[in-house]
Chain A
Amino acid sequence: MSLPVPPSARDGITPPDVQTEELEEQEALEAIAKIDQVAPSAGITTAAQRRQRPLPKLADPAAPLLVVEDLKTYFSTGSGPVRAVDGVSFKLEHGEALGIAGESGCGKTTTALSLVRILPANAKIMSGSISLMGIDLVPKSDNALRRYRWREISIVFQGAMNALNPVRRIRDQIAEPIEERLGESPKAARKKAGDLLELVGIPRRRGDAYPHQLSGGMRQRAMIAMALACDPAIVIGDEPTTALDVMVQAQILELLEHLRQKLGLSLILITHDLSVIAETCDRVMVMYAGRVAEEGPVDEVFRRPRHPYTQKLMAAFPNIRADRRTLDVIPGEPPDLRQPPPGCRFAPRCPFAMPVCREVVPPETTFSGVRVACHLYPVGSDGVPVTVPPAMAVDALPAAAAG
């Protein structure tokens, strides 16, 4: 038995031929320009063909692509269930990009992992429905769900270095799922894997490389190629650019945008970085403590945030296009999801909290296409954003101290 031997780390840093690299760059650019041509040979549906794409059995062609209703996913722990996702609803239309935003522990990743049911052993979907083209995935057995995971909904994880196998060549790693899930011959699968690499801007011959021989950006491209391998309708990106440099992040987001347009893909982008969502998504869903705080078109939510948490979150974000030194603080910490507060979960940290907020869970109301769960906006109100007091300057303190 012979194991593939990864070349020594030195090979990764030995200066490759500069000319080759420049050539590769050129090829990568051309590849993006010809997504339309490459996609069919890689077995990937293009935007123009998406309507004719064969649907899974029982699919309702008239149904929205994805409708999630009242989803609850809990983690069981020694000290009681953690209500990580506690009644989340949203919709994703064909070709749409939805960003799910929120801080650590808000339930955004658990929501996404629930869709493809890649959950830790102690997590369980308690109730709710996940309708993909009219088919509810929640009651499906793990075995039956395989028809949908990767083939209808796939996922790009954050740390490409951890998600890729370090001792296998990139091309083989992409070919494997094509062979296994689509039943292609090894030869055909390898050819498709090469096409997929071209599709994401990696020259075909770089498929021989091991993960450590690729740059961070190239590895993330390879992850995207793997996610596309079975021609899914929905790609979920879980913090897909978080560990990358800003310029590489811009390149990857641009690639996702191109793929979305040319392939008619639908995207769910999960990130703590509001600015990534502002620049790539059509809609944004802001989550807090396992619930949806606000959801709607990016333009409306980011220009006129209604929920105090959305406002605070935006004000806490450094904005290179705004004035300097206006970083806001969100006092306190998110609640313990084993014993969440009875009313609005943000109430203990909210500058507008009223008595009702501490007792009654705020219902969702809709204004200009924006759903917001906050007692400031009761049914029948005008929905005009109630704004928080202006952010204090980051260094408001020194004005006195500096003299």
Chain B
Amino acid sequence: MTERQAVTDAGSSTDGHGTADDLLRIDDLVVHFPIGGGMLDSLMRQPTAVVRAVDGVDLTLRRGEVLALVGESGSGKTTIGRVIVKLTRPTAGRVTFEGQDVTKVWSGQELRDYRRRVQIIFQDPYETLDPKQTIYDFVAEPLEVNGLGSASERRDRVLGALEAAGLRPAEEYAARYPHELSGGQRQRVVIAGALVMGPQLIVADEPVSMLDVSIRTELLRLMLALRWERGLTYLFITHDLSLAWVLADRIAVMYLGRIMEIGTAEEVIRTPRNPYTEALVSVSPSPEPMSREGRSERTILKGETPDAVRIPAGCRFHPRCPKAFDRCLVESPPLFDVGGGHRSACWLAEPGADIAGRALPVVDAAAAP
């Protein structure tokens, strides 16, 4: 159905896909959502279309790292997070956690065990919290559902999680309702709810994007402190490259269901090797006044990310890529290693690519398929 976005063996394999340090591994993940196809559509003879939300992704989360998955809307970043926490079933591919294939874990004790170890924090605490439930009941709920511990053990764990999330005195916060808390405190409750199960991996989907900067920093610090205190691993999903820059060890940049570039934060932001990342970095605003020259050096891409229903042939980024050349129209680039585990899905990153000679924009937009 899709050609695999293979990792080339070129270059170092120290970053190899699959070592003992891996906590979670995704292999060739594909998530397609059929749309239409209802009775009305068949009556109307509407062809069924498929949204290719995730279209062949390999990704490894190393134990204890913060990996930022960055992309614009429609990049598939959230879908990957949902697959990892078992909220979405993949169409194809494999998910391995602690060396165990968990792709087919969808029920029973196995699923409960997995969910204790892998938790998710969503963007909007207003939607996650139930206004009619006390903070205690919200945090205790997963323990009760899983029948963990005695009543007094549960109480200790809930209060411990609230304290770890910075809600002190925990007893006082436990008795409150969500509307009695500030936005920052609500998100701390959500974090406590994730911590109470003692997870190893936390998938954080835009956990701070609705908060003011001052509250945001406090929460980011809390999450990073917890990482060290509890040995947590984070998959941090965000549209904000600047945020990824300040808090991630590694950054993976997604576009239309594929990883375009992955490497350490330094590599990806300071020496991007993919034209899409280059453009994103160039337009990411910073609170430093920009000179006229600085402004003209920005690469503002034309148009918007196309619908994942009609992914362009060849490199999916080619219709918007300022550096596209003939090969990009027909062939999808694999992730080339450009050194030390820094990888880019771009023909210009191919080992030995004659960059100067090939970077000519020979794409005629009107003639593109």
Contacts and interface: CB of A to CB of B under 8 A. Distances in A.
Partners in one complex: yes
Contact of A245 (B73, B265, B309, B366): B73
Contact of B289 (A104, A299, A316): A299
A317 B310 contact: no
B300 A318 contact: no
B330 interface: no
B285 A278 contact: yes
B73 A25 contact: no
A325 B246 CA distance: 5
A326 B245 CA distance: 11
B220 A278 contact: no
A279 interface: yes
Interface in B226-261: 227-229, 239-243, 245-247
Nearest to A403: B228
Q: Name which of A13, A26, A298, A303 has the most chain B CB atoms within 10 A of its CB.
A: A13
A320 B307 contact: no
Contact of B286 (A298, A319, A329): A319
A22 B319 contact: yes
B283 interface: yes
B285 A215 contact: no
Contacts of B36: 10
Contacts of A272: 212-213
B182 A275 contact: no
Q: Name which of A247, A254, A279, A319 has the most chain B CB atoms within 10 A of its CB.
A: A247
Given A22-B319, A245-B73, A279 B290 contact: yes
B358 interface: no
Contacts of B213: 103, 272, 313, 316-317, 330
Nearest to A400: B228
A217 B304 contact: yes
A276 B239 CA distance: 16
A14 interface: yes
B309 A321 contact: no
Q: Is the interface of A mostly helix, strand, loop or mixed?
A: helix
A324 to B, nearest CB: 6
Given A22-B319, A103-B212, A298-B289, A246 B310 contact: no
A25 B214 CA distance: 39
A19 interface: yes
B224 A398 contact: yes
Q: Name which of A19, A29, A217, A319 has the most chain B CB atoms within 10 A of its CB.
A: A319
Nearest to A101: B287
B247 A394 contact: yes
B49 A329 contact: no
Nearest to A333: B182
A104 B35 CA distance: 39
B174 to A, nearest CB: 21
B214 A324 contact: no
Interface in B15-46: 35-36, 41, 46
Interface residues of A, number: 60
A394 B246 contact: yes
Interface string A245-278: 1111111001000000000000000001111101
Contact of A13 (B241, B307, B365): B307
Nearest to A215: B304
Contacts of A103: 212-214
B224 A247 contact: no
Contacts of A69: none
A320 B242 contact: yes
A322 B286 contact: yes
A29 B300 CA distance: 12
B279 A302 contact: no
Contacts of A328: 217
A322 B288 CA distance: 9
B218 interface: yes
Contacts of A382: none
A352 B36 CA distance: 61
A324 B304 contact: no
B163 interface: no
Contacts of B218: 329
Contacts of B220: 327, 394
B221 interface: yes
A392 to B, nearest CB: 9
Interface string A9-32: 010011100110111011001000
A31 B259 CA distance: 34
A401 interface: yes
Interface of B: 35-36, 41, 46, 49, 72-73, 182, 212-214, 216-218, 220-221, 224-225, 227-229, 239-243, 245-247, 265-266, 269, 279-281, 283-290, 295, 298, 300-305, 307, 309-310, 319, 365-366, 368-369
Interface of A: 10, 13-15, 18-19, 21-23, 25-26, 29, 103-104, 215-217, 245-251, 254, 272-276, 278-279, 298-299, 302-303, 312-314, 316-322, 324-330, 333, 394-395, 397-398, 401-402
Going nearest first, the 10 A-B pairs with the smallest beta carbon separation are A275-B285, A330-B214, A245-B72, A250-B283, A401-B228, A318-B242, A103-B212, A274-B287, A398-B228, A320-B242
25 contacts: A15-B307, A18-B369, A19-B366, A103-B213, A245-B239, A247-B304, A248-B72, A249-B285, A250-B298, A275-B286, A278-B289, A279-B285, A302-B287, A302-B288, A303-B289, A316-B213, A319-B242, A319-B288, A320-B245, A326-B246, A330-B213, A395-B228, A397-B221, A398-B224, A398-B225
